[in-house]
């Protein structure tokens, strides 16, 4: 099981270590640093590294490497999932997961880690339970604690820990009862030179914010549940009911949680919201290159495409770019050769474009690689797969909650090759 | 006000100041001080000097302070064992506390203090906690047993904690079950042969019930444990699969992958024509695809596992090629894995798409990735024959880009394409030759030289090209030198007239000026070949080469099977069996996939194993060993390993082994080693059983010109453990043209290994000249022991008890019943009874093999019919 955890910052310093079994010397991280040196980019450090006596499994989140040390055969995904949970918990407790935040709350961090693992076995990883055991630091509580001498460690056994619904604590009370659901879809796509789709898929999630009194039992049904053939549920969802009726039935955790994530694969037709017309050329022998880019909406069902951000890694030979955007602003970093263009909203009547020239190193040969264009965008009030919630019902409690459902489409890894 | 204040130091000396604060009367100040101590500890500062002061703070009713002190204790108790004793009392008291949280905390912390003296005191509280009324305490105590076992395994066994832990598998609370399974699995890992997790249908049922209700982590433990179980039949296997499939929709990817492991393993047992089999295959694809949309680290582990799954069952993901297409901002480790899987999934149907993608990748920036992409194009050509032409033209396009590393990589793969499809794409050689000068990597140079040598007759200036390489011969790497040597010899054999000088040059370079033994040896071989027999040289050097195939990069099937059983583990990431790298895995058991239900040999093997349950400890082990053939040599008593050996023997006896039964008394004197093959020593001989002793009767003849001495003999491991009972008695030197007869007594206590055919024996004979190896077969009758006569009643009862699977029938011709009976007795085949039914004469016989297997036979003859029917039954005595 998980032996130890080291937190390493971007400059390669270990700023926190925690051991759940015997103490492992921090020199074990030298192997990690070696791998880090070899990797060209921070994210290229291999996630599983073997050393003569241990295995190092790491994830990189918020520019911090979380390096877990294991000694025996442990499923690596188990470790990675656990590390994700650690990151999520820190974020949940401190708002951000940064080196400064962790150092500021080092004792809480330590208490949390101790509570999350016992002898390397996960103990309490649900944020609900943890919050009952160790209360998150707030300014008010710190003040109160200082004055009254009370602590932020819970004195009672968390109620949910052993119940059949470990994700929900009992005795939840709200004056305003509300349940909000966000359907968020991300399109991952690769578009080739000619504009045809090579692969496109949708990663969707339904995130919920449920603040309901007591033990509510919710059901959520869809207009078109057929779309969801590849789903992962929060443990609260009753799987049998879904199998039989295609209805989500669950007792929700208290607060924010991810109810469901789903995947609409490339075999279904995936609508592509924008198109890109591009002409990026370099001529042999000339020290100039042409850059010409126009964006337009494609299949958006009449909704506006907003927050469009185009970025492209230009070839190393490009010294500078002199471009003229029809709207928004652009920047070109001559060191990293990263071109970003903050477009904003696409107006279908007046398509945004970015045109101009790139200057190349004099005398250098024409670059071999073709830059790939990366697009980020947002479309409000639409789930691009067409998924629609039919109704949300509550059983088990008498009051009438506020209900709300929001849709949003984003670009995930949306790439256009040139 | 944040915790960072704990890191600030004062000039006076931190430790000193902390000590003062820890001993302060004010509670608040104490707590702050302990927090400071913990903060220093987290960043690796040594604050062990404060041990007594911190421990003094332990007696408190403030839970946070108590937890903090416990944290400190866990870290430093080992360095201060004597002081740690001071804490014991508080622990024992806390274990009695009415608050379950405190009881659990105490037992949890005690387990983390790795000090021998403390563990003694731990036993009693732990025993109580394991039976605590509160499940939270029980589940914490279960983990504590694993901790204690890590510190002092003997103590845990002596105190009977393992049994209590096993009982917890039947606990009413699923969390307790999950933790008990986790603890047992961890303990079992350090005791691979202990039967800790004794899985039977009842426990499996309990685990499956707990599976639905416990936390995600518990599900992982339970699924990993389930994967070790071997279901009795395909129906049980299906019902487990049905109950595991909902886990595929879990949000935790580790749960998903563990479920995939269970399904992949149990699927082996399902008949392929079953509807459910097809359903299951369909259900496996979506979760695997979903794993690929997760964070890159998860993707990497998932891809390594998918690589295995795709090799074992390509049908699962054959339509999902597109999800493996590479995004340009994927981390390099994900890119390389995706590429690998793309090639594995490439087929005629999708090759056009794949090639277009690969060509795209070949123009990317990352050199490693580009190289692998180019290599992938070559592998596609080799894998999908129809695409070869398109691949070659794609490669030629890439060569035109003149990007140095692309060109080099392309040439290396084109060489492989030539080896797969000889005489098909030689037209491209001219283009390749244009790039000769730009090649600077040994592998590319060697590949190019190979191409030039192989097709020397079609390249007009082949001699010039090779000569140009020869100039810097000594600066080349060995790989290139060897290739150059061979290529020039090939060229010489093809165009002898113009290249004599060249070949002499290279031969002298290789043999006289080189320090490399490989190169020198190869040079000398060529030289001698060319000088003695050019025709033979041509046959050797220009021999037709075997075609290469795509399979070369596949994982070897037995290893693949084992790895499939380890899906989701480190082994699956490294693609190595766990025994190869996991530290401290003493004698790791090799896991194997269960056999398919409808494959005849495996199911009957399982049936045989079922028949005598007392002999076979567990079917899983047996199947493992059956496939593994890794039997440990044992000399005392029938241990499981030996009895599995017997089982195998039994199976084959029923098969081919009986042929030899019918030839019992023919004496085979055979020439085992002709003089030609053993430098003049001829060995002939036979086996016999005389007065209860198995003997190997040999004639050694010296047909050489010199005297032979120092004879010795050794046997390889064999089916029945035959081994020489003494040394080979050849006392006088054997002079030329002399023969000697030797009798070697044998026993059956040697190491056992199943041979094919069963009665095969591999022998090594050594003398002063050399060691000679030969193999021979012994008649199975020598293994029949004298006390093989069974009592009538026993015979009757046994005959009925033996299941049909152990039965086999044969026809033999022309033999006389009465004569046979006495003859058989001479060979220790005893006639038990004789009767006549419906004009058929029946003769019942028993015999016993040296390894304890009984064979009961019924000989049936119909009057007037010269054919006899023998029915044989095998019985393994449960001793």
Please state whether the predicted TM-score (pTM) of the whole model is above 0.80. Answer: no
Label residue B294 by pLDDT band (50, 70, 90). confident
Label residue A409 by pLDDT band (50, 70, 90). very high
Cα–Cα dist B845/B214, whole Å: 59
Cα–Cα dist B745/B693, whole Å: 7
Q: Quote the pLDDT of residue B337.
A: 92
Question: Is residue B552 over pLDDT 50?
Answer: yes
Cα–Cα dist A379/A302, whole Å: 10
pLDDT digits (tens, 9 = 90+) for A59-96: 999 889 999 999 888 889 999 999 999 998 998 888 88
Mean pLDDT score, B863-875: 69
Angle at B325 between CA B319 and CA B327, to 5 degrees: 150
Cα–Cα dist A215/B215, whole Å: 20
Q: Which of B42, B100, B297 sits opposite A17 (nearest CB)?
A: B42
How far CA B814 is from CA of B106, B208, B672, in Å, comes to 83, 60, 30
Of B44, B251, B337, which to mutate for an interface test with A (greatest number of A Cβ within 10 Å)?
B251
Question: Is residue A169 over pLDDT 80?
Answer: no
Q: Which of A15, A152, A232 sits opposite B249 (nearest CB)?
A: A232
Helices (H), B455-516: 462-470, 478-494, 500-512
Question: Is residue B628 over pLDDT 70?
Answer: no
Based on the number of CB atoms within 10 Å of its own CB, is A35 exposed (0-12), middle (13-18) or buried (19 or more)?
Answer: middle
CA distance A356 to chain B (A): 24
pLDDT digits (tens, 9 = 90+) for A98-122: 999 888 888 888 888 988 888 888 8
Q: Which of A55, A82, A162 sits opposite B135 (nearest CB)?
A: A162
- Average pLDDT over chain B reads 79
Minimum Cα–Cα distance from B567: chain A residue: A75
Lowest mean pLDDT among A334-348, B256-270, B323-337, B665-679: B665-679
Minimum Cα–Cα distance from B250: chain A residue: A232
User: Are A107 and B363 in contact (CB < 8 Å)?
Assistant: no
pLDDT digits (tens, 9 = 90+) for B35-58: 888 878 776 677 888 888 888 777
Minimum Cα–Cα distance from B331: chain A residue: A44
Residue by residue, DSSP assigns A87-145 as HHHHHHHHSS--HHHHHHTHHHHHHHHHHHEETTEE----HHHHHHHBPPP-HHHHHHH
Lowest mean pLDDT among A284-298, A388-402, B572-586: B572-586
Query: Do residues B362 and A368 touch, judged by C-beta distance below 8 A?
Result: no
Q: Quote the pLDDT of residue B423.
A: 78
- Average pLDDT over chain A reads 85
Which has the closest alpha carbon to B809: B663, B662, B655, B648?
B655
Cα–Cα dist B343/B332, whole Å: 17
Q: Quote the pLDDT of residue A86.
A: 92
pLDDT digits (tens, 9 = 90+) for B194-234: 667 778 888 888 899 888 888 889 999 999 999 888 888 88
- Helix orientation angle between B216-226 and A76-94, rounded to the nearest 10 degrees: 180
Minimum Cα–Cα distance from B76: chain A residue: A23
Angle at A84 between CA A79 and CA A87, to 5 degrees: 130
Q: Quote the pLDDT of residue B864.
A: 65
Mean pLDDT score, B394-402: 87
User: Are B43 and A17 in contact (CB < 8 Å)?
Assistant: yes
A131 contact partners, CB below 8 Å, separation of at least 6: none
Query: Do residues B725 and B745 touch, judged by C-beta distance below 8 A?
Result: yes
Mean pLDDT score, B84-95: 82
How long is chain B? 879
Query: Do residues B290 and A232 touch, judged by C-beta distance below 8 A?
Result: yes
User: Are A415 and B290 in contact (CB < 8 Å)?
Assistant: no
Which has the closest alpha carbon to B150: A71, A189, A361, A107?
A71
Question: Is residue B62 over pLDDT 80?
Answer: no
Query: Tokens 């009547």 correspond to what residue?
Result: A349
Q: Strands across the sheet with A55-61, in order? A: A14-19, A2-8, A64-70, A55-61, A48-50
Lowest mean pLDDT among A297-306, B432-441, B653-662: B653-662
| Coil/strand/helix, residue A24 | coil
ipTM for the predicted complex comes to 0.80
Mean pLDDT score, B730-750: 81
Q: Quote the pLDDT of residue A376.
A: 92
Q: Which residues of A touch B108 (CB under 8 A)?
A: 118
Q: Quote the pLDDT of residue B603.
A: 39
Q: Quote the pLDDT of residue A308.
A: 92
Query: Do residues A236 and A167 touch, judged by C-beta distance below 8 A?
Result: yes
Query: Do residues B238 and B594 touch, judged by C-beta distance below 8 A?
Result: no
Instruction: Compute the 3-state secondary structure of chain B and give helix, strand, coil in percent, each to the nearest 5.
Output: 60, 10, 30
Minimum Cα–Cα distance from A139: chain B residue: B1
Q: Which of A26, A152, A229 sits opposite B286 (nearest CB)?
A: A229
Label residue A7 by pLDDT band (50, 70, 90). very high
**Which residues are bridge partners to A376 per DSSP?**
A309
Question: Is residue B608 over pLDDT 70?
Answer: no
User: Are B302 and A44 in contact (CB < 8 Å)?
Assistant: no
Question: Is residue A233 over pLDDT 60?
Answer: yes
| Coil/strand/helix, residue B762 | strand
Label residue B263 by pLDDT band (50, 70, 90). very high
Mean pLDDT score, A252-260: 88
**Residue B141 CB: number of other CB atoms within 10 A?**
31
Q: Quote the pLDDT of residue B589.
A: 56
User: Are A77 and B253 in contact (CB < 8 Å)?
Assistant: yes
Q: Quote the pLDDT of residue B614.
A: 33
How far CA B179 is from CA of A119, B146, B220, B391, in Å, comes to 11, 10, 11, 54
Query: Do residues B429 and B451 touch, judged by C-beta distance below 8 A?
Result: yes
User: Are B300 and A114 in contact (CB < 8 Å)?
Assistant: no
pLDDT digits (tens, 9 = 90+) for A339-387: 999 999 988 888 999 999 888 887 777 777 778 899 999 999 888 888 8
Minimum Cα–Cα distance from B146: chain A residue: A119
Higher pLDDT, B726 or B618: B726
Instruction: Compute the 3-state secondary structure of chain A and give helix, strand, coil in percent, each to the nearest 5.
Output: 20, 45, 40
Based on the number of CB atoms within 10 Å of its own CB, is B738 exposed (0-12), middle (13-18) or buried (19 or more)?
Answer: middle
User: Are A232 and B2 in contact (CB < 8 Å)?
Assistant: no
Query: Do residues A218 and A209 touch, judged by C-beta distance below 8 A?
Result: no
How far CA B377 is from CA of B388, B389, B390, B553, B642, in Å, comes to 9, 11, 10, 14, 51
Q: Which residues of B touch A118 (CB under 8 A)?
A: 108, 140, 143
Q: Quote the pLDDT of residue B666.
A: 44
Contacts 24+ apart (CB under 8 A), A18-25: A18/A110, A18/A113, A18/A114, A18/B42, A19/B75, A20/A117, A20/A118, A20/A119, A20/A120, A20/B112, A21/A119, A21/A120, A21/B112, A21/B147, A21/B150, A22/B78, A22/B114, A23/B75, A23/B78, A24/A54, A24/A69
Mean pLDDT score, B841-862: 78
pLDDT digits (tens, 9 = 90+) for B637-689: 333 333 333 344 444 444 443 444 444 444 567 788 887 777 778 888 888 88
Question: Is residue B713 over pLDDT 80?
Answer: yes
Label residue B821 by pLDDT band (50, 70, 90). low
Burial A358-384 (b: 16+ CB within 10 A, else e): bebeeeeeebbbbbbbbbbbbbeebbb
User: Are A106 and B6 in contact (CB < 8 Å)?
Assistant: yes
Mean pLDDT score, B474-478: 85
Q: Quote the pLDDT of residue B866.
A: 64
How long is chain A? 418
Q: Which of B101, B297, B302 sits opposite A157 (nearest CB)?
A: B101
Cα–Cα dist A236/B251, whole Å: 11
Question: Is residue B800 over pLDDT 90?
Answer: no
Omega cis (within 30) before A321: no
Mean pLDDT score, B169-182: 88
Which has the closest alpha carbon to B760: B774, B781, B771, B746?
B774
Reading the block at residue B46, the tokens are 């040594």
């Amino acid at each position: 099981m998980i032996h130890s955890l080291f937190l390493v910052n971007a400059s390669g310093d270990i700023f926190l270590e925690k051991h759940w079994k015997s103490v492992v010397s921090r020199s074990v991280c030298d192997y990690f640093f070696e791998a880090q040196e070899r990797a060209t980019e921070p994210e290229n450090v291999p996630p599983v590294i073997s050393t003569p006596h241990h295995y190092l499994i790491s994830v990189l989140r918020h520019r911090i490497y979380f390096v877990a040390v294991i000694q025996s055969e442990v499923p690596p995904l188990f470790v990675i999932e656990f590390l994700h949970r650690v990151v999520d918990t820190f974020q949940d407790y401190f708002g951000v997961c940064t080196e400064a935040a962790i150092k500021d709350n080092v004792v809480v961090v330590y208490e949390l880690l101790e509570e999350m693992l016992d002898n390397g076995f996960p103990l309490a990883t649900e944020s609900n339970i943890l919050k009952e055991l160790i209360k998150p630091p707030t300014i008010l509580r710190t003040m109160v604690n200082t004055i009254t001498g009370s602590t932020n460690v819970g004195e009672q056994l968390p109620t949910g820990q052993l119940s059949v619904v470990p994700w929900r604590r009992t005795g939840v009370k709200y004056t305003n009862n509300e349940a909000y659901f966000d359907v968020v879809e991300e399109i991952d796509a690769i578009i080739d030179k000619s504009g045809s789709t090579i692969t496109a898929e949708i990663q969707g999630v339904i995130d919920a914010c449920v603040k309901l009194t007591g033990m509510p039992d919710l059901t959520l049904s869809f207009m078109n549940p057929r779309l969801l053939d590849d789903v992962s549920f929060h443990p609260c969802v009753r799987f049998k009911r879904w199998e039989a009726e295609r209805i989500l039935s669950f007792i929700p955790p208290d607060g924010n949680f991810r109810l469901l994530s789903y995947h609409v694969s490339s075999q279904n037709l995936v609508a592509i919201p924008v198109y890109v017309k591009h002409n990026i050329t370099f001529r042999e022998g000339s020290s100039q290159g042409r850059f010409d880019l126009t964006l337009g909406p494609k299949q958006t069902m009449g909704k506006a495409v907003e927050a469009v951000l185009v970025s492209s890694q230009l070839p190393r030979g490009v010294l500078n770019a002199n471009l003229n955007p029809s709207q928004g602003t652009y920047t070109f970093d001559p060191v990293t050769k990263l071109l970003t263009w903050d477009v904003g909203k696409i107006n279908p009547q007046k398509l945004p474009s970015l045109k101009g020239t790139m200057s190349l190193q004099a005398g250098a040969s024409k670059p071999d690689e073709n830059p790939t264009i990366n697009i980020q965008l947002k479309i409000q009030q639409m789930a691009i797969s067409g998924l629609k919630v039919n109704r949300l019902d509550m059983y088990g409690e008498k009051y009438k909650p506020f209900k709300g459902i929001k849709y949003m489409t984003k670009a995930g890894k949306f790439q256009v090759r040139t | 006000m944040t915790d960072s204040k704990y890191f600030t130091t004062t000039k006076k000396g931190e430790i000193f100041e902390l000590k003062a604060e820890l001993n302060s009367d004010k509670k608040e100040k104490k707590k702050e001080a302990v927090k400071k101590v913990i903060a220093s500890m987290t960043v690796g500062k040594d604050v062990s000097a404060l041990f007594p002061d911190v421990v003094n703070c332990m007696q408190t009713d403030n839970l946070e302070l108590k937890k903090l002190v416990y944290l400190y204790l866990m870290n430093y108790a080992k360095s201060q064992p004597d002081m740690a004793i001071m804490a014991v009392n508080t622990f024992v008291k806390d274990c009695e506390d009415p608050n379950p949280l405190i009881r659990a905390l105490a037992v949890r912390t005690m387990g983390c203090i790795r000090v021998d003296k403390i563990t003694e005191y731990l036993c009693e509280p732990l025993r109580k906690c394991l039976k605590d009324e509160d499940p939270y305490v029980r589940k914490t105590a279960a983990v504590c047993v694993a901790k204690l076992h890590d510190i002092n395994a003997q103590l845990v066994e002596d105190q009977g904690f393992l049994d209590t832990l096993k009982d917890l598998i039947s606990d009413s609370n699923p969390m307790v079950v999950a933790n008990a399974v986790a603890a047992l699995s961890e303990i079992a890992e350090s005791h691979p042969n202990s039967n800790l997790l004794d899985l039977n249908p009842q426990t499996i049922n309990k685990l499956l019930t707990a599976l639905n209700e416990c936390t995600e982590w518990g599900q992982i433990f339970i699924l990993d444990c389930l994967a070790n179980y071997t279901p009795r039949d395909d129906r049980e296997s299906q019902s487990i699969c049905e109950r595991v499939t909902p886990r595929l929709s879990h949000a935790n990817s580790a749960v998903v992958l563990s479920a995939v492991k269970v399904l992949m393993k149990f699927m082996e047992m399902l008949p392929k024509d079953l509807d459910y089999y097809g359903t299951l295959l369909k259900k496996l694809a979506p979760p695997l695809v979903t794993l690929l949309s997760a964070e890159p680290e998860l993707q990497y582990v998932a891809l390594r596992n998918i690589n295995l799954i795709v090799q074992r069952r390509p049908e699962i993901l054959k339509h999902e090629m597109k999800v493996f297409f590479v995004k340009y901002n994927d981390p390099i480790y994900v890119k390389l894995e995706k590429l690998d899987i793309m090639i594995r999934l490439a087929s005629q149907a999708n090759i056009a798409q794949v090639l277009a993608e690969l060509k795209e990748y070949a123009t990317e920036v990352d050199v490693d990735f580009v190289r692998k992409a180019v290599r992938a194009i070559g592998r596609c050509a080799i894998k999908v024959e129809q695409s070869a032409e398109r691949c070659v033209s794609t490669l030629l396009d890439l060569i035109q880009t003149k990007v140095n590393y692309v060109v080099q990589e392309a040439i290396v793969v084109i060489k492989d394409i030539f080896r797969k499809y000889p005489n098909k794409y030689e037209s491209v050689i001219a283009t390749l030759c244009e790039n000769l000068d730009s090649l600077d990597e040994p592998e590319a140079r060697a590949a190019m030289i190979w191409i030039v040598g192989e097709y020397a007759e079609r390249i007009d200036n082949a001699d010039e090209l090779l000569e140009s390489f020869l100039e810097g011969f000594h600066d080349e790497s060995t790989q290139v030198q060897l290739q150059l040597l061979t290529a020039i010899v090939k060229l010489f054999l093809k165009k002898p007239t113009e290249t004599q000088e060249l070949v002499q040059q290279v031969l002298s370079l290789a043999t006289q000026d080189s320090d490399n033994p490989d190169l020198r040896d190869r040079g000398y071989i060529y030289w001698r070949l060319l000088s003695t027999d050019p025709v033979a040289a041509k046959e050797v050097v220009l021999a037709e080469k075997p075609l290469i195939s795509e399979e070369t990069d596949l994982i070897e099937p037995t290893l693949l099977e084992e790895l499939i059983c380890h899906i989701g583990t480190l082994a699956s990431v490294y693609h190595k069996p766990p025994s190869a790298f996991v530290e401290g895995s003493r004698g790791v058991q090799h896991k194997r996939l269960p056999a398919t239900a409808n494959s005849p040999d495996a199911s009957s093997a399982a049936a045989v194993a079922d028949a005598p349950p007392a002999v076979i400890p567990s079917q899983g082990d047996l199947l493992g060993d059956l496939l593994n053939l890794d039997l440990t040599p044992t000399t005392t008593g029938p241990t499981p390993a030996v009895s599995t050996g017997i089982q195998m023997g039994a199976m084959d006896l029923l098969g081919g082994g009986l042929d030899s039964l019918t030839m019992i008394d023919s004496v085979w004197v055979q020439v085992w080693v002709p003089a030609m093959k053993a430098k003049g020593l001829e060995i002939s001989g036979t086996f016999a059983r005389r007065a209860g002793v198995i003997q190997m009767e040999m004639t050694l003849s010296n047909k050489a010109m010199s005297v032979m001495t120092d004879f010795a003999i050794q046997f390889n491991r064999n089916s029945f453990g035959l081994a020489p009972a003494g040394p080979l008695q050849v006392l006088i030197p054997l002079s030329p043209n002399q023969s000697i007869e030797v009798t070697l007594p044998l026993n059956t206590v040697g190491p056992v290994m199943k041979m094919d055919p069963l009665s095969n024996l591999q022998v090594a004979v050594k003398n002063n000249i050399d060691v000679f190896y030969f193999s021979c077969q012994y008649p199975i009758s020598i293994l029949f022991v004298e006390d093989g006569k069974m009592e009538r009643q026993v015979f009757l009862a046994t005959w009925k008890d033996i299941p049909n699977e152990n039965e086999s029938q044969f026809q033999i011709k022309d033999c006389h019943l009465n004569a046979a009976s006495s003859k058989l007795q001479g060979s220790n085949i005893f006639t038990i009874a004789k009767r006549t039914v419906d004009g058929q004469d029946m003769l019942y016989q028993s015999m016993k093999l040296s390894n304890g297997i009984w064979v009961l036979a019924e000989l049936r003859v119909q009057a007037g019919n010269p054919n006899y029917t023998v029915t044989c039954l095998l019985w393994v005595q449960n001793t």
